Copies of this chain bind each other. A is one copy, B any other.
Amino acid sequence: MATESFPPPSGTRDFLAAEFEARERAFATVRDVFARFGFQPLQTPVFERLEVLTGKYGDEGDKLVFKILRRGEHEATGEADLALRYDHTVPLARVVAAYGSRLPTPYKRYALAPVWRADRPGKGRFREFVQCDLDVVGSASPLADAEVVSALYAALDALGVPGFRFMVNSRKVLMGLLEVYGVPADAGGGVLITLDKLDKLRPEAVIRELVEGRGQFEATASSLVADLTAPDSITRIRKELTNSSIGQEGLAEIDRLLDLLSATVPRERIAFVPSLVRGLDYYTGVIYEVTAPGMPGSIASGGRYDGLIGRMSGGAETPACGGSLGIERILPLLTSAGEKPASALDVAVTVLGDDHADEAFRMAAAVRRAGLRTGVYMGSSSKLARQLKWAAAEGARFCLIYGDRERDAGEVIVRDMTTGEQTTHPVDQVAGSFAE
């Protein structure tokens, strides 16, 4: 291994103790919330057979899949037969197809695990990153959507994300608008992609793209954009959709969802935002995104996607909805300042000469039995000053000092590493000295 080749692969990270534990604490919080909502964990292998992934993410996505070379005599072919998972949705579809009726109905599952994408690494963009999905497969009920949104809300709340807010819309509202404005079916997808830019571009720029890029009439484009961006946007949209049955369905869906959520999500945290589009074209019903101050883009999102699971698994059409926490984007928003890393020692035990090692080891065992995180000095110095420095570097709250004098007296000194205060205890009662 050359000296210049020590960092982890491009776009990946090593997590040493403090960062690992901060992440795990957040993950445990999320898992607890999802479990409380009756979602079950699912863990799939890190790789899938290549044919399971191929063609699921479009041409651009397929290029970002990490493919695994065939092995043994087949390695020389340069062909791949496996690939690292790109998301948790395709593995979910495979599991639904594989286990069928052996899964609960509906199947409420969460997955909190890394995925891999060969994106160009950049600030906050990784090639190995954790995705956190929860989905309800097999229920068309608005209760399923409400449960997913409630669980996302509860998780963000439990994590302590400040000031986050849900925006809700329905694909059917957008379809209704396209219908009302006479946008031809085959142009609808492109128009939505352009409308999705309303949160980033000025309205005039979006109108220009609708006209020049999507072939819409100037009047249609202006009016559509005005409806979606006006301060009274919701009233306008409701009026526009009076005669669209799909539009009415969408509005009813949103009203029903907000109604159900009144028990779980505070009013000021959620709103109907008719301009919300969500990029992915597989959504069929309600859609939502969560924003938070200090983080551009969304920190969570989801919606109903009734066709996808059946299409991916080659089975019957299966109603489904789900959401995703952008956990890698959420972690930087959490304040863990001042928190002592959990990996710091409670008690550091000095070894002031080889002949004291046995007693030091025995004391460490006793203190550990009392549940304290304990380390024994293993370096080559027998100097107290050197060992106290080690204890401090380990973040220890207490240090046990046991040398010739203490042995002769059958005692041990307990040093409070913060105050420097020292108390003396009989050797066989040292564990008890931490009990208070």
Q: Once the chains bind, are A1 and B312 in contact (CB under 8 Å)?
A: yes
Which residues of B lie under 8 Å from residue A49 when comparing CB positions? 5, 9
Which residues of B lie under 8 Å from residue A185 when comparing CB positions? none
| Interface residue? A104 (CB, 8 A) | yes
Of residues 297 through 337 on chain A, the ones whose CB sits less than 8 Å from some CB of chain B are 312-314
Q: Once the chains bind, are B98 and A14 in contact (CB under 8 Å)?
A: yes
| Interface residue? A105 (CB, 8 A) | yes
The answer, among B17, B68, B377, for a CB contact under 8 Å with A68, is B68
Of residues 8 through 40 on chain A, the ones whose CB sits less than 8 Å from some CB of chain B are 8-9, 12-17, 20-21, 24, 35-38, 40
> In the complex, how many residues of chain A place their beta carbon closer than 8 angstroms to a beta carbon of chain B?
107
Which residues of B lie under 8 Å from residue A105 when comparing CB positions? 379, 390
Q: Once the chains bind, are B8 and A45 in contact (CB under 8 Å)?
A: yes
Which residues of B lie under 8 Å from residue A230 when comparing CB positions? none
CA distance A108 to B67 in the complex (A): 34
Nearest residue, chain B, Cβ from A10: B49
How many protomers of this protein does the assembly include?
2
Q: Once the chains bind, are B42 and A14 in contact (CB under 8 Å)?
A: yes
The answer, among B45, B80, B104, B345, for a CB contact under 8 Å with A12, is B45
Interface of chain A: mostly helix, strand, loop or mixed: mixed
Q: Chain A 356-381 against B: per-residue CB contact (8 Å), 1 yes, 0 no?
A: 01101110010010011111111110
Q: Distance in Å from the Cβ of A23 to the closest Cβ of chain B?
A: 8
By a beta-carbon cutoff of 8 Å, the part of chain A in contact with chain B is 1-3, 5-9, 12-17, 20-21, 24, 35-38, 40-49, 51-52, 63-64, 66-69, 71-72, 75-80, 82, 84, 93-95, 97-99, 103-106, 108-109, 114, 116, 118, 128, 136, 139-144, 146-147, 150, 154, 259-260, 263-264, 312-314, 342-343, 345, 351, 357-358, 360-362, 365, 368, 371-380, 390, 393-394
